[in-house]
A and B are shown apart, each in its own frame.
Chain A
Amino acid sequence: MLRRRDLLGLGAWSAAAGLLLRARADEDGLLQAVATPQDLETPLGFFDRLITPTSVFFVRSHFGPPSLDLGRRLTIDGMVGKPLELGLADLEKLPQVTLTAVLQCAGNGRALHEPRVPGVQWRHGAMGQATWTGVRLKDLLDKVGVAPDARHVRLAGADRAPKPTVPKYLRSIPLARALDPTTLVALRMNGEPLTLAHGAPFRLVVPGWAGDHWIKWLTHLRLQKDEAEGFFMNTAYKLPKTPVAPGAAVPPEQMQSLSTIPIKSIIARPADGASSKAGAQEIVGVAFSGEAAIDKVEVRVNDGPFVAAKLEGPSVPFAWRVFRHRFEAKPGKHTAVARAIDVKGVMQPETAVWNPSGYFWNAWHRVQWEVVA
């Protein structure tokens, strides 16, 4: 019998290299926040389109990936009638669903909060939109038979901390979110098998929720009564229950776990500090709002009024839409600011709500550029 480890050693090189090196030489790269473990931002200029190419899609993990192992198994156990273990081939045989959703790190924009807080100092690029294809988690949970008093699904991946003294990266989602038909065990991203950096062979997809729930290299789902244990559930990824003054210390009992990503828009072009030629100008960017669809994006140029930008892409939950606003400009300094409004009428706030871990920066994005003759 060929062991899964042998696959790499015995000539699956081309397949493995294909998964890892699906990068095009003619594309730009990523902004390297951290070399080891890799934390990489998508450059702003790519936020002018509906789908972010996989090769420039942001990368985040706490400890770096495990080895590439397409033989990895997914175990579902705990408060279930019949535990289940599946491999890639088993998952591929089940009905596949494809959806388009934004993936955003909870800490995206941390470097823009004042006062500054520790953590990866993301600016704008820890987000992207892709199509995700895989099996509904609900279909898998139906197979195992969830016990009536189970309330949470504990999520674990194959990545390990560098030392046993570092807490394991564990999260959980409430059972209701796990049973939502949009929660997937994804095998593919943008139509291709997941790359190692993005969770190969399979990862969780929780549309509308921050990236900390989208567990990569998924190996273990456990049905249980309580939330997952440990630092990454009990201490990290928490927001104050009510807004606090910037810089305030917040006692643990005043904090709650974060989940859905708040409404946000980002201007891809013109880049802040750039210059452009006099005449036709275009403000372009993306807008999204957790579990609600985007209804409108308004752009203000200089001291003018907010005007509705033209939108591309369907107004559907979980997905971002591209906005464009065109106008003529004479030479001189120009500023633009964008704000999004979702179908529930929620408007992006002018300033972001500071919080002790620097999550969910979503203030109006302002850019200034020089128009030259």
Chain B
Amino acid sequence: MSFPGVLDIDWNVMAPAITLLITAITALLFGLSWRDSRGPAAVALIGVLTAMVFAVAHLFSGNEGSVSFGLRYLGDVPATALTLVILVGTAIAILVSWDQLERGGMGQPEYYPLMLLSALGAVVMASAGDLITLILGLEIMSLPAYALSAWRTRDRQSEEAGMKYFLLGAFGSAMLIYGSALLYGASGSFVYGDVAAALAGGNLALLATAGGALVLAGLGFKAALAPFHQWAPDVYTGAPTVVVTFMSVVIKVGAFAALLRIAATVFPALQPWLLTALAVIVALTLVAGNFTALMQRGVKRMLAYSSVAHAGYLGLALLAANHGGVPAAAFYLSVYALMNAGAFAVLTLVMDAGDHGDDLERFAGLGKTRPGLAAAMTVFMLSLGGIPFLGGFTGKIMVFQAAIDAGHVWLAVLGIATSVVALFYYFRVVAYMYFRESAYAPHTFRSTPARVAIAVALVGTVLLGILPGWWHTLLSVGPRLVAGS
């Protein structure tokens, strides 16, 4: 149903986002009258699953070329596939939160609606075809996330996390908006493709490149690329672990989805020093993320730095956006969402109700006391570390190959070298679980929904490792609305 000349809205493209919005409003309205937070959780889960059905239907409909609002809201393969990834990440976060909110005394009814709105923002970012839509998506995604970070009321760390995230996040948004204004000033357009076309002549190149640099910095904040990553470890440590499960996956996917599209279209039209700057940023991220993670004793903080490190690997794909980087990054994000959410999900079961006790010692002897949980954690750790037959390995191979194809051999070498470091801090968790005896009786939490979430993440991680072909092929073929391969 579309109205040519009036508003070209393709409801199939918009369906996942609209479903999320309606579900969020419904859950908010009805949630107020429920005493238990599990009701809204169920509503939210149904909404996310419905949105997933729409996304899958669209992905396989063969109409990937369809758009809404001109080229401002895209429904091509990367947009739809990453929407699906965001929805899977959100579903896992909901399942993980299911019992944990009550356990931690955080069961206020607004939790799930805010999470859905944040996911909606990420979906809008992934589908954005112009800078205005991108800014809207970024704000819709960020504002609920600020509130969620401070969800543990009367807890100084959580409040600090929320405040820090809000202040630095606002700073990042401001840079993105300013950069977009400069790009508009130089090109007279907000739509990525038109911006690139207008800049091809080389007019106002410096102005436009400055705009591009600010856009990169603004999105770099959200993606936690060094040196804009400083907030991430503190926020991840302070915020409730269930919220971090959500943030570390969904916000990263949203930010990288936007960055990928801009890197494939706008950046090549700008002055080349911007790509050099991006290469430096990627190198910094790889080194800072991996080496700081190596020094952590707390598993939660280690995972926080590790998520910075993974931003570095995704950065390699950004640099190769026109050399197979887009499917590589989309694949990497799919695996990352599963294995990282899975690792945090395990962490929520191991930590205290008050989100304390993430020390490595907590994992000692877990292989004996909770063999299933330990086995799942082993798979997530080895996959994050890039061991074969798990999705993380396939994703890494793809981004390294893309970087080498794009001529960034040294960055790929750096990426592979830092992967060696990464394997140590990931394997250390495995070593604690199996090679050490527990010093004291571990009191882990049991939750069936969380178990389902871990199982989903586990199956996905293994499946993308053993049979990666179908998903990568799906991501590689199909029309692209805006340049980028």
Asked whether A and B interact, the reply is no
